[in-house]
Amino acid sequence: MTDDPSSSAGSDDGITSDEKPRSSGDDSNGSQAENESDGEAERSLTLAAFHDACQQEGRPVLTAGGVARALEYPHSAVTEQLEALEAAGDVESLSVSTDPVVWYPSELEDLTDRERVVVFPKRREIVVDRPEQFTRAQLSQFAHLADTNGENGYRYEVRPEDVWQAPHDSFDGLARTMRQALGQRSDALEDWVESQWDRARQFRLVTHEEGYTVLEAQSAEIMGNVARQKLDEEHVHAPISETEDWVREGSEAAIKRTLYEAGYPVQDQRELAAGEELSIELQVRLRDYQRTWVDRFAEAGEGVFVGPPGSGKTVAAMGAMAHVGGETLILVPSRDLARQWNEELLAQTSLEPEQIGQYHGGQKNVRPVTIATYQIAGMDRHRSLFDDREWGLVVFDECQHVPSDVYRRSTHLQSRHRLGLSASPIREDDRQTEIFTLVGPPIGTDWEALFEDGFVAEPELEIRYVPWGDDEQQNAYGSADGREKYRIAARNRGKVDDVRYLLSAHPDSKALVFVDYLKQGRAIAEAVDAPFLSGETPHAERRRLLEEFRRNERELLVVSRVGDEGIDLPTADLAIIASGLGGSRRQGTQRAGRTMRPAGGALVYVLATRGTREEDFARKQLQHLGRKGMTVREQNVDIET
């Protein structure tokens, strides 16, 4: 991202000439080449083209000859068109001794402040400098933000799954969006996108008039060469025709997953149970991006809302519930989250207390809107209670759990509408594609756009490299092997001093200190005189501490892994991660996300023992947050601290 993308296209990095980015002045169909047999046919000179010439020449001022050379425009027409731009106020001219006239933009800062899009078709990458909000919104419909340098430079990738889930009814609509985002037409990229668009429409699941499920293919060739090669008797009973197979009951999710992995996502158009009608009205106005999420869900009937903590995924899910207007089952990973859902539904919707039930270890009530834990919903002795009721919508909260062997048993509840919620659908076992085949395609928003619009506060992330607290631990680390090295570094007693220092440096902040080890948590809690909330904390005590934190009656909590998910701490503005760097990237997102709220001024400190494997763990765990637009800085901690 630090290199000028326009210059890299011509380097010896293996990019061929047809992969070089086109400027917005190019004509992709080659008609100009045909019409310029004498080399003098006129082409319109725009201010954008003049900027391109300045950038290509590496100078803010150019002669008419320089413009003609850079843009390969007819020299005889350039001066006249430059004079027209001057009359419009877009450029200015100045006579100098070495050349009759030089030209420059009226606003020189336009050279650095304007948006520039560079396309690499063969790599299916798009590099954008200083993109406008409109451009980023358009790109998000068919591309994935892969990287950002934190200085207005963005790198997007166009992956097959981005095309498969593009929110368009036709390829022509998607192509128009691409051209609007890129400011140009890229035939090579469009051809590839169209091929992926077609792949996503080769198979569909439908309901036969007699009630069973059928897998349909667009052609006998695709059915024979793909589906019947990948699927077996565990998935289908028998062929019905050259393009249809009779699906075994309960194997629908496995079929979708298998064909997705083969590069052919299946359109699920079954006539599934809609459940009893249930009128739900929202008591809060959705933000524009939340309304977009709900609209995209409404079009597809399924999906996963992906956004940073604090972006309002729960409220958006309630908007989806209001759209469906049917009985709803909400699956959550913990009873704490079930209670929070219950409270939010009462506060944000027209639902009455008697319409909402919770089903978990604490209470067991099945009602028109039921909130259950994944564990309970997956148990054989409870499953019939949920199977017997026809749900209009099933919501999978924290749906990154779905692919795990314990939780995926709940996905047999295949209602007409399925909705997942996740801040980070990343799995370290590379099974995240299962989330989208079992639940639905991702629906999300550019994180940095939420930061810029003030909906979510971008936290400041700092990795602090902490020295050893004593020689005993340092010597033990030197002689340890493997996982034991990590545990010793994670529990470095020097971190206790740095936690105290950071809390004293931010005396007015509401703070959370995260740990992975009970002994370390107790030591830090004692050192800072704060409660330690862990899995050993009784539910009643845990609830009391959290309520006190929410009501600003308590300013500090030390939290174990129990706080990574399923606990809403909306007013935290300081997070200190003392250990847990060997955890997943998702865990890093969850912990950093505890400070992502509209209030702003949030801080996240990640403590890593200097000179150990924790340094690499810290960088890798937060790397994907940096790619989402957050600034991550690094600091060596002095021994005196």
Same domain as 436, residue 404: yes
Q: Residues 137, 138, 143, 147: is their CA dihedral positive or negative?
A: negative
**Burial (CB count within 10 angstroms: exposed 0-12, middle 13-18, buried 19+), residue 571:** middle
CA–CA gap between residue 440 and residue 499 (Å, rounded): 41
Furthest CA-CA distance within the chain: 92
Residue 51 counted as domain residue: no
CA distances from 240 to 214, 430, 574 (A): 9, 35, 61
pLDDT of residue 443: 84
Chain mean position to CA 610: 31
State the pLDDT confidence band at 575, using cuts at 50, 70 and 90. Answer: confident
State the pLDDT confidence band at 342, using cuts at 50, 70 and 90. Answer: very high
Please count the other Cβ atoms lying within 10 Å of the Cβ belonging to residue 70: 20
Decide the pairing of beta strands 203-207 and 556-559: unpaired
Closest CA to 394 of 326, 305, 324, 330: 330
Residue 140 counted as domain residue: no
pLDDT of residue 27: 39
608 vs 12, residue with greater confidence: 608
582 vs 545, residue with greater confidence: 545
CA–CA gap between residue 517 and residue 512 (Å, rounded): 15
330 vs 8, residue with greater confidence: 330
pLDDT at 577 over 90: no
Residue 536 counted as domain residue: yes
pLDDT of residue 574: 84
pLDDT of residue 7: 36
**Structural domains in the chain (count):** 3
Residue 592 main-chain phi, psi, to 5 deg = -65, -35
Residue 486 counted as domain residue: yes
CA–CA gap between residue 248 and residue 226 (Å, rounded): 18
Same domain as 536, residue 612: yes
CA distances from 627 to 155, 302, 328, 398 (A): 9, 27, 35, 22
Same domain as 365, residue 316: yes
Among 268, 301, 323, residue at a domain's last position:
268
Residue 532 counted as domain residue: yes
pLDDT of residue 26: 40
Residue 175 counted as domain residue: no
State the pLDDT confidence band at 497, using cuts at 50, 70 and 90. Answer: very high
Tokens 């990574």 sit on residue = 564
State the pLDDT confidence band at 241, using cuts at 50, 70 and 90. Answer: very high
CA–CA gap between residue 548 and residue 427 (Å, rounded): 33
Same domain as 482, residue 631: yes
pLDDT of residue 112: 54
> Residue 354's domain spans which residues?
288-445
Helix (H) / strand (E) containing 356: strand 356-359
Same domain as 608, residue 512: yes
Span 203-224, pLDDT tens digits:
999 999 998 999 999 999 999 9
**Burial (CB count within 10 angstroms: exposed 0-12, middle 13-18, buried 19+), residue 98:** exposed
What average pLDDT does the segment 320-336 reach?
Answer: 90
Question: How many CA atoms does the CB half-sphere of 335 hold within 13 Å?
Answer: 14
Same domain as 400, residue 363: yes
pLDDT of residue 140: 82
pLDDT at 624 over 80: no
Residues 6+ apart with CB under 8 A from 609: 465, 466, 467, 468, 477, 489, 490, 492, 494, 495, 615
What average pLDDT does the segment 588-593 reach?
Answer: 47
CATH of the domain at 305: 3.40.50.300
Helices (H), 165-287: 171-182, 187-199, 220-222, 228-230, 252-261
Q: Residues 30, 34, 35, 40: is their CA dihedral positive or negative?
A: positive
DSSP assignment, residue 478?
A: H
Q: What is the chain's mean pLDDT, rounded?
A: 78
What average pLDDT does the segment 385-405 reach?
Answer: 76
pLDDT of residue 344: 94
pLDDT of residue 40: 38
Whether the CB-CB separation of 234 and 248 falls below 8 Å is answered with: yes
Helix (H) / strand (E) containing 556: strand 556-559
Same domain as 394, residue 257: no
- 3-class DSSP state of 541: helix
pLDDT of residue 415: 63
Same domain as 237, residue 369: no
Among 392, 421, 445, residue at a domain's last position:
445
Instruction: Provide the β-strand partners of residue 234.
Output: none
Span 7-40, pLDDT tens digits:
333 333 333 333 333 333 343 344 333 333 333 3
What average pLDDT does the segment 104-132 reach?
Answer: 77
CA–CA gap between residue 53 and residue 71 (Å, rounded): 6
Whether the CB-CB separation of 253 and 411 falls below 8 Å is answered with: yes
Same domain as 311, residue 248: no
Question: How many CA atoms does the CB half-sphere of 247 hold within 13 Å?
Answer: 27
Span 277-323, pLDDT tens digits:
899 999 999 988 899 899 989 888 888 898 877 788 999 999 999 99
Q: Residues 360, 361, 367, 369: is their CA dihedral positive or negative?
A: negative
pLDDT of residue 523: 94
Same domain as 259, residue 301: no
Whether the CB-CB separation of 326 and 372 falls below 8 Å is answered with: no
Buried b (16+ CB within 10 A) or exposed e, 288-319: ebbebbbbbbeebbbbbbbbbbbbbbbbbbbb
Closest CA to 316 of 293, 339, 298, 336: 293
Tokens 């977009």 sit on residue = 292
State the pLDDT confidence band at 434, using cuts at 50, 70 and 90. Answer: low
Q: Which two tokens stand for residue 428?
A: 């370290």
Residue 198 main-chain phi, psi, to 5 deg = -65, -40
Among 430, 445, 460, residue at a domain's last position:
445
Residue 75 counted as domain residue: no
Same domain as 378, residue 337: yes
Residues 6+ apart with CB under 8 A from 581: 490, 606, 608, 614, 617, 618, 621
CA–CA gap between residue 382 and residue 365 (Å, rounded): 12
pLDDT of residue 322: 95
Tokens 């095309």 sit on residue = 163
CA–CA gap between residue 68 and residue 56 (Å, rounded): 12
Closest CA to 460 of 598, 311, 600: 600
Percent of the chain at pLDDT > 70 equals: 73
Same domain as 371, residue 457: no
